[in-house]
Amino acid sequence: MNQKKKQKNTQQSKHKLQLLCVFITTKGMIISMKILLMCAAGMSTSLLVTKMEECAKQRGIGDIVIDAEPVEDLDKYVAKYDVFLLGPQVRYKEEWVKKTIEGKGKKYANIPPQVYGLVDGEKTLDLALNLLK
């Protein structure tokens, strides 16, 4: 009996994942996505990147790249990523970031200090995903 129940749960999970993929494609979202978090030195957001990757994996989002780099290096990366998230410690650079990113037809958002401080991977991932809607 346990084996049948396990099989049924596996089939339901596969079905949910297929529905999610269909939903994403019918909504016109990009299934493959590259997110860049920008901070002061590229190191302080590494834990947040890890939390976001864990959250994406739990949601069944496999084709996603999440990295962190210093905001000063944005010019090197703007063509390589889909969306950009600006850490609160470098918000003073927002005007330059906005001009650089939007000049390439891409989007960015500021990571709220509370979300960043709590290292909330789920809310940060949602912030990035919502930029593509």
∠ CA(68), CA(28), CA(46), 5° rounding? 10
Contact 115, 42 (CB under 8 A): no
**pLDDT score at 5:** 53
**pLDDT score at 15:** 35
CB 90: neighbour CB atoms within 10 A?
19
Write out pLDDT tens, residues 52-109.
Answer: 999 999 999 988 999 999 999 999 999 999 999 999 999 999 999 999 999 999 999 9
**In this structure, what are the phi and psi dihedrals at residue 30, rounded to the nearest 5 degrees?**
-80, 125
Among residues 107, 82, 84, which one has the least CA distance to residue 32?
Answer: 82
The domain locations on the chain are: 1-29, 32-130
DSSP letter at 8 equals H
Write out pLDDT tens, residues 4-54.
Answer: 555 554 444 433 333 343 334 434 444 589 999 999 986 779 999 999 999
pTM of this prediction? 0.76
Distances (CA, A) of 47 to 12, 43, 69, 99, 126: 32, 8, 13, 28, 17
Q: Which residue of the set 35, 36, 38, 39 is catalytic?
A: 39
**pLDDT score at 17:** 39
∠ CA(111), CA(114), CA(115), 5° rounding? 50
Domain 32-130 belongs to what architecture?
3-Layer(aba) Sandwich (3.40)
**pLDDT score at 16:** 38
Supply the DSSP string of 21-67, one letter for each residue: HHHHHHTT--SSEEEEEEESSSSTTHHHHHHHHHHHHHTT--SEEEE
Please confirm, yes or no, whether 39 is among the known catalytic residues.
yes
